[in-house]
Amino acid sequence: MLLGDETGQRVFDFNTSEVARALVGNLMIVFRGDLESLKARYSISFDSDGENWTLDLEPRSRALRRIIDKIRFTGRSRELNAMETHESNGDRTTRKFSEIEIGRSWEQEDLDGIFSLDPPDAAL
């Protein structure tokens, strides 16, 4: 995994970096909707005014907290609008989502492949 900003880039090896595995793995848990695993890894705060919502996640892992203070997801109704990462050094990274398809059905096999951290089969 490569992380970079105006000061340079840093490479994290998934085989040796707990932080790299945690960053990607934890996001996959969010996108899978695995609430129990999410609760085990984050302190969770959810707020909604009925239509708009905010989900704040604060890492429980000391290693991850050295890099990230919290991750904030915002949305409206069933739609995800943005994900903002608040880093421990004061930086923020915002990812905005558009053209969201809601109500789409997936087979479990497709979901397992899309949200897996395992590399795809080389034979494909």
- Residues above pLDDT 70, as percent of the chain: 76
Q: Structure pTM?
A: 0.70
Instruction: Say what the pLDDT of residue 80 is.
Output: 86
- CATH annotation of 2-99: 2.50.20.10
Instruction: Say what the pLDDT of residue 124 is.
Output: 43
Residue ranges covered by each domain of the chain: 2-99
Q: 62-97 pLDDT, tens per residue?
A: 888 888 899 999 999 888 899 898 988 898 888 888
Pick 91 or 100 by higher pLDDT: 91
Pairing of strands 92-96, 8-11: unpaired
DSSP state of 120: P
If you count them, how many residues does the chain have?
A: 124
Euclidean distance between CA atoms 32 and 101, whole angstroms: 16
End-to-end CA distance of the chain: 23
